[in-house]
Structures are given as C-alpha cells and as structure tokens.
Structure 1
C-alpha cells in the first residue's frame, strides 16, 4: 500500500478573489520504502470545492496516480 502525504496546496485566485486553480503537492512511498513518488496534481475550482480536506485530497491524488499508471 502506498502511503500518500499531502505536502501543500497552492491556490491561485482570479481577479474577483475566487479560486481559479489549485495545485495539490504530494509525496508517497510504499511500506518498505523501496518506491518513492512525488509531484502535484492540478485541480479546477470545481474539483477543489468541497474536497478541501486532507482525506478528500489524498483520495483524489490516489485516483489520479492510479489513472496515470493505468496508461503506462
């Protein structure tokens, strides 16, 4: 099982002060620490709204990683 940790969120706002886009930076590793991964996923304001909590963001990162690895 990969352990994913949210490191930071970078929120960009538009001229009206509303959320425009969000970068969710993360790192992760498996239990034996033989596999490491890090990066960020971009989210739209719609994707971010209602998913601001760590559990929700971690789930979104996991899903994004699974989707990306399925393409390989």
Structure 2
C-alpha cells in the first residue's frame, strides 16, 4: 500500500469564493522503490467539507487510482 502525505494546498479564489485547490502530495510504497509526487486539482465545492488531512489523503488516493487505471473506472 502506498503511503500518501499531503505536503500543501494552494487555494485559488474567484468572485469571493474558492475556485480550485491544488492539493500537493508525496507518496511511496513500503520498500520506497516507487515514489510519486504532484498535485491534484479539486474544485472548490469538492474541497469544502474535505479540508482535513485524512479526507484529502482519501481524495488523492482515489484520484490517483482513477488516473492510473482509467479502464477500471
């Protein structure tokens, strides 16, 4: 299982509200043979209510799986 760490968020505002949030992450497998890093863009609506680190980790894991295995979705 990959260990995902949230390393930051970059919030972009528009019209007085959150338009998009880039959730930066780093991840690696238990042997540290494979590592990933980058960001996942979230619409403001998806970010709001999911600001906690555990919630963001789950979203990042889900989005990574979707991008790595598009045929499975």
- The TM-score, its normalising length taken from structure 2, stands at 0.92
Structure 1 runs of 4+ with >6 Å offset: none
| Deviation, structure 1 residue 69 | 1.0
2:54 alignment partner, SS class: helix
Superposition RMSD in Å: 1.1
Q: Do structure 1's residue 22 and structure 2's residue 32 form an aligned pair?
A: no
Listed as ranges, the matches of 1:1-72 within 5 Å are 1-16=1-16, 18-71=17-70
| Deviation, structure 1 residue 71 | 2.4
User: How many residues end up aligned between the 2 structures?
Assistant: 71
Structure 1 unaligned residues grouped into runs of 5+: none
